[in-house]
Amino acid sequence: MSEVKVDTISERTAANGIVVDGVTIKDSGLTIPSGGTLDVNGTIDLSGATQTGIDSTWKHLSTTSNASDVTQIDFEDVFTSDYNVYKMYMVNVHQQSTGGNIELRLGEPNPSDGFVPSLGFNIGGYSIQGTRRGEASYNTEYARIGINTAVENSSQWYGGMFLEMTFWHPYGTDQLTRASFIGFGYDNDANLQMPVTGGFYDRTHQAITPASCTGFRLSGGSGIQGTPTTKFHLYGLEQS
């Protein structure tokens, strides 16, 4: 066994790079030939990477937490021209007082600028045993994504709402902004409701140029609780 210790290995022939047992290192790149395997048992940090060659995969964009009692949770500049479709996982959204509604407003373009004044929405959840059943409405600034929801109660096991929400074309002005969602929630009587389903769209701009939405606001009842912590995981759909 021998050991080579050097500070730099440079290619001898400019066009060839350096080949180490079949693996080529050239011009800051590493090429593993056909049949080879890159076996990683540690961590790959791709946070600064540009991904190519993989079509239509979800890229994690951000995770936002809320651990305090707040009146609202705003997301500003989260929708960009980089993606047409976004997915957000809302984990444990629970409001301050039982019986209120969880509402979402589309910014125009951001919540700090104003809101799309007229949405059409339909919520299909809470339709089995809730005190209030699914609801549809038009021409409202908000879209309800939860109705008569229960507050978190530390002495019981029930919790807030857990939603997977898809935003369709929020940034682009070639199509209307639409969103659909599915998940779990607890009604006013602390009965588990599943699935909670629904959708909404930008009704204001349906006959004119669609608005560009870059953010949205989530609010609920008399506010949103911070205990337990609420998390929001945002992903964008990579497109080839």
Q: How far is CA 142 from CA 81, 154, 213, in A?
A: 24, 29, 14
Q: Nearest approach, Cβ of 44 to another protein (angstroms)? A: 25
Which one among 17, 99, 124, 134 touches another protein, defined by CB under 8 A?
A: 134
The minimum distance between CB 221 and another protein, in angstroms, equals 8
Q: Which of 180, 93, 199, 104 is nearest to 142 (CA)?
A: 104
For the bound state, the minimum distance from the C-beta of residue 183 to another protein, rounded and expressed in Å, comes to: 20
One of 60, 69, 80, 153 touching another protein (CB under 8 A): 69
The whole-angstrom separation of Cα 51 and Cα 37 is 19
| From 32-40, 129-137, 150-158, 172-180, span contacting another protein (CB under 8 A) | 129-137
Alpha-carbon dihedral sign for residues 153, 194, 136, 167? positive
Asked if residues 205 and 176 have their Cβ atoms less than 8 Å apart, the reply is yes
Q: Which stretch binds another protein (CB under 8 A): 65-73, 86-94, 113-121, 175-183?
A: 65-73
Residues 96-115 within binding reach of another protein (CB under 8 A): 96
The reply to whether 141 sits near another protein by the rule CB under 8 A is no
DSSP state of 197: E
Applying CB under 8 A, does 222 fall inside the site for another protein? yes
| Residues that contact another protein, how many (by CB under 8 A) | 29
* SS3 track for 103-142: EEEEECCCCCCCECCCEEEEECCCCCCCCCCCEEEEEECC
Indicate the residue among 65 and 156 with the shorter CB distance to another protein: 65
Please pick, from the candidates 16, 72, 156, 173, the single residue that binds another protein as defined by CB under 8 A. Answer: 72
Task: Examine residue 60 and tell whether it contacts another protein (CB under 8 A).
Answer: no
Shortest Cβ 176–another protein spacing (Å): 22
Q: CA 135, CA 147: separation in Å to the nearest integer?
A: 8
| 112 class by beta-carbon count within 10 Å (0-12 exposed, 13-18 middle, 19+ buried) | exposed
DSSP code, position 13:
S
In this chain, which stretch among 5-13, 135-143, 166-174, 200-208 interacts with another protein, using CB under 8 A? Answer: 135-143
Residue ranges binding another protein (CB under 8 A): 64-66, 68-78, 96, 127-129, 132-137, 139-140, 222-224
